[in-house]
């Protein structure tokens, strides 16, 4: 349970960090390229996909080196954290432009323990991947379903099981 909460906290932190990234005119960052970045990829493999990132922080403790980079694209951005040179987590905001039709009624049907497939069937389509982290054999992913008015539902899954759900202004 602690691991699930810590992975959820990492994803939330990454999204907050992304929002504060300045906009750059030179970028190859898109949602489809964000999806191509796999957990465990090296920094050089990521650079081949989206170009060089801006190094935000780097720490090293007990032989574990953590380095975070950000990329920006118009109003969108992404952040990736590397552990010992390999992708540990990634997050994005504003790179995905498709809209969903979510409602309070649909939100109430979503229950903890559901699979992503079940949540997707309730909401009518897949959500946009906003964050992903993999650590100690646990995989955590956050998805958002955003209405055209900006209201949204966020669901975080650990090993494909819904852990946390939230809504904004439904």
Domain 2-91 has CATH 3.30.1450.10: yes
Q: Do domains 2-91 and 104-168 have the same CATH topology?
A: yes
DSSP string, 70-135: EEEETTEEEEEEEETTEEEEEEEES---------HHHHHH--TT-BHHHHHHHHTSPPEEEEEEEE
Q: Using H for helix, E for strand and C for coil, what is the string for 3-16?
A: HHHHHHHHHHHHHH
The confidence score (pLDDT) of residue 113 equals: 97
Q: How far apart, in Å, are the Cα atoms of 15 and each of 62, 93, 117?
A: 27, 7, 23
The confidence score (pLDDT) of residue 138 equals: 87
Measure CA 143 to chain center. Answer: 7
Is residue 16 predicted with pLDDT exceeding 50?
no
The confidence score (pLDDT) of residue 22 equals: 43
Domain boundaries, the chain: 2-91, 104-168
Mean local confidence (pLDDT), 135-144: 90
Pick the CATH number of 104-168 from 3.30.9.10, 3.30.450.40, 3.30.1450.10, 1.20.1250.20: 3.30.1450.10
The confidence score (pLDDT) of residue 8 equals: 52
Q: Which two tokens stand for residue 169?
A: 């202004």
Is residue 74 very low, low, confident or very high in pLDDT (cuts 50, 70, 90)? confident
Is residue 121 predicted with pLDDT exceeding 70?
yes
């Amino acid at each position: 349970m602690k691991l699930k909460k810590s992975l959820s906290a990492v994803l939330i932190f990454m999204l907050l960090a992304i929002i504060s990234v300045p906009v750059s005119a030179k970028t190859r960052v898109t949602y489809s390229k964000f999806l191509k970045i796999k957990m465990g990829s090296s920094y050089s493999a990521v650079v081949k996909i989206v170009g060089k990132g801006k190094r935000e922080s780097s720490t090293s403790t007990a032989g574990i080196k953590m380095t975070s980079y950000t990329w920006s694209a118009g109003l969108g951005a992404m952040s990736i954290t590397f552990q010992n040179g390999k992708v540990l987590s990634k997050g994005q905001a504003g790179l995905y432009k498709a809209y969903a039709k979510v409602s309070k009624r649909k939100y109430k049907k979503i229950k903890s323990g559901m699979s992503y497939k079940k949540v997707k069937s309730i909401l009518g389509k897949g959500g946009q991947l906003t964050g992903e982290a993999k650590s100690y054999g646990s995989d955590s992913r956050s998805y958002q379903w955003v209405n055209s008015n900006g209201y949204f539902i966020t669901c975080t899954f650990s090993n494909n099981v819904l852990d946390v759900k939230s809504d904004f202004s439904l």
